Amino acid sequence: MNDVARVARVSLGTVSNVLNKPEIVAERTRLRVQAAIDELGFVRNSAARSLAAGSSRTIGLVLTDVGNSLFVDIARGAESAAHENGHALLLANSDVDLQKQEGYLDIFDEARVAGIILAPLDAGLEGVDRVRRHGRHIVLVNYAGGRTDCCSVLVDEEHGGYLAARHLIDLGRQRLVFAGGPDNLHAVNDRRKGAMRAASETRGAVSLEVIMGRSLNSPEGRRIAGDLASRGRSRMPDGIIAPSDQLAAGIIHELTGTYGLRVPQDIAVIGYDNNQFATEGAIPMSTIGQPGREMGRVATKLLLEEVSQGGQHVHRNLMLEPTLFARASTLGR
């Protein structure tokens, strides 16, 4: 800033005003200072500025997987709320990698961001403790590991599984399969519990078989569909609940393309997440959607509330509701 002041032949205070309160600087002076800034390639040190001011106008957001449109929606909601409140959003993708997640937490911590929104992996949350010890505010979204010592925004996954199973039951399906997903993922387990609860309410009129899998992707869905088809049509389910849209897409592709079965006439299939491609296939997919944008907006508001209130802030754990989107894979054309 001293260099800018020297080249523009103004005081250091004038340079500061051009950067922070340009409306109070005469236009001719402001243009001269801006020309000096451009000539010197000056970029303000936001980290130093935050240290001097005692606050930052930047929020860090660490997402699990930007390949999943749920997390893209969370980012859009968070960015919108941050912008409305005069903050910028820095986005990081852990790509389902715990080391990356921990590394990004440290990067945002070192950058002295105002706070961090974290969509964590189903793993230990030691990084949360680490950055909070440094005075960094943090809000958890989509998974909280049972923590109550920081704010969180979650979706009722068990109710989502219940809605999926109830939808098939209400359509008259009686032999259901909950297909796929690792049993060490909290979301998969909660969705399965909800589906089991819906089946149990029928008092034996509807059966529900659980088939756990290795992942939530399309190849795993094709593998599960192949295993089911190998039983023969008489032992096939008439309804499948997949805990992800990618799984459901693989199941539908294999059942219809390889085995010539009709969806939903022979087997109705419902997914989970309401990913963008759910409506783009030859058979638009029924699914359970999560309010990603609302999750991001609410998480940002909670974070900024904590930043402004400091020690007076009371942590809250908010639970949002999922939504059923019924389409051709269960309803027909």
- 12, 70, 169 from 65: Cα distances, Å: 45, 9, 32
| DSSP symbol at 322 | P
Neighbouring C-beta atoms of residue 54, cutoff 10 Å:
6
Query: What is the full per-residue pLDDT of the chain (333 aa) written as tens digits?
Result: 889 899 999 998 898 888 878 888 899 999 999 998 888 888 776 555 554 444 578 999 999 988 888 999 999 999 999 999 999 999 999 998 999 999 999 999 988 899 999 999 887 788 899 999 888 999 999 999 888 889 999 999 999 999 999 999 999 999 999 998 888 889 999 999 999 999 999 999 999 999 988 888 999 999 999 999 999 888 999 999 999 999 999 999 999 999 999 999 999 999 999 988 888 888 999 999 999 999 999 999 999 999 999 888 999 999 999 999 999 999 986
3-state secondary structure at position 243: coil
Pick the closest to residue 251 from 197, 287, 276 (CA basis). 287
Q: How many whole angstroms separate alpha carbon 178 and alpha carbon 96?
A: 24
3-state secondary structure at position 81: helix
Q: How many whole angstroms separate alpha carbon 80 and alpha carbon 332?
A: 37
| DSSP symbol at 284 | P
Q: How many whole angstroms separate alpha carbon 210 and alpha carbon 29?
A: 72
Pick the closest to residue 177 from 269, 263, 249, 258 (CA basis). 269
Beta bridge partners of 325: 287
